[in-house]
Structure 1
Amino acid sequence: MTIVVRPVEPDDFAEVSRLTVEAYRADGQLEDDAGGYAVALADVAARAASAEILVAADGQQLLGSVTFALPGSPYAEVSRTGEAEFRMLAVDPAAQRRGAARRLVQACIDRAEALGCTSLVICTRDVNRAAFALYDTFGFTRDPSLDWSPVPGVRLLGLRLPLQVLAH
């Protein structure tokens, strides 16, 4: 298996929508979707118009996706000037444990470094232990200044990864 990370293409939108919603549902993150987050997850075209979406693919099979955003853009929630953030990291439940999430996170790190960002940030649900374990392997650390709640009952905890600013 060879996982390749590449920018999303319009022909990918329907599959990215499906796998993202299924991943969040399988992980228990849409059980009380009073805020309509499933609708936002499914709207890949809107995300692609306002942020970068990367997909992990094995040949023609899409395994997962992530949204990469810069501060001030519509999908940036907590990043500040000089930082980048990623959101909506999802791997198809049928393709989990194959390294797709790891590849997608690394692609976000690489992209942020290439843009000269000083940090990469992410917020994840307080109950998502698998995400915390993954981000820990990259060196992300808790940053409580990034914590927030998009809707009552959903608590997001912030993580930060300081980056090496590459000299040009």
Structure 2
Amino acid sequence: MLRDYRADDAEAIVRVALAAFAQFEQHYSDWPLFTTHVAKMPELAKTGEIIVAEDGGRIVGAVAYVGPQAPKPAFFDPAWPVVRMLVVDPEARGKGIGRQLTEECLRRAERDQAGVIALHTTPIMTVALPMYLRMGFARVGEAPDILGVPYAVYVKRLG
């Protein structure tokens, strides 16, 4: 079940985000620094809409949808809505939760009458990146490396 974030979800979202990224620890040059950024996921509620996935009353995934014109990193066109920090609890993977969360971001972009939606990801994310490509996202440019890990910007045309 998908629903909008509530302030009391913050601790559970951080737990899921840290668990989701844990498998990538060896790729980042400063893992403790990276985890401090991951733990700030609830702050995305200030500029975007966080969507949570629940299973049996437990939060098992989350994503932030940052709408057109909302503040976002400079490597994105300011007019683009953006998918940020898609995370799924490792114990809940393989159930389509990541796809459902991404599809909800697409619905919100269409609600906002956006022509495209963007995200940034990295080849080390061997489940997420192929899913985005299957969903119609295409690589459009580079994004800055994050602690030694290469990232790129992907866009999907809507409508």
Cα contact 1:56–1:104 (8 A) shared by 2? yes
Q: How far apart are 1:11 and its partner, in Å?
A: 1.7
1:121 partnered with 2:118 = yes
Cα contact 2:17–2:88 (8 A) shared by 1? yes
Partner of 2:76: 79
Partner of 1:103: 100
- Cα RMSD after superposing both structures: 2.1
1:148 partnered with 2:143 = yes
Q: Which runs of 4+ in 1 moved over 6 A?
A: none
How far apart, CA to CA, are the structure 1 residues paired with 2:118 and 2:60? 23
Partner of 1:42: 39
Cα contact 2:69–2:80 (8 A) shared by 1? no
Cα contact 1:82–1:118 (8 A) shared by 2? no
SS in 2 for 1:73: coil
Partner of 2:17: 20
Q: Percentage identity across aligned positions?
A: 26
Task: Give the residue type in structure 1 aligned to 2:11.
Answer: A
Q: How far apart are 1:45 and its partner, in Å?
A: 3.7
Task: Give the residue type in structure 2 aligned to 1:85.
Answer: V
Q: Which has the higher strand share?
A: 2
How far apart, CA to CA, are the structure 2 residues paired with 1:30 and 1:102? 24
Task: Give the residue type in structure 2 aligned to 1:160.
Answer: V
Q: What whole-Å deviation, never above 9, does each CA across 1:102-161 have from its counterpart, x for those lacking one?
A: 1000000000011001111111013222112111221111112xx122445221111110
Aligned with 1:157 (options 133, 152, 155): 152
Q: Which runs of 5+ in 2 are unaligned?
A: none
Alignment length (residue pairs):
159
* Counterparts in 2 of 1:92 and 1:152: CA distance versus 1, 3 Å: closer
Q: Which runs of 5+ in 1 are unaligned?
A: none
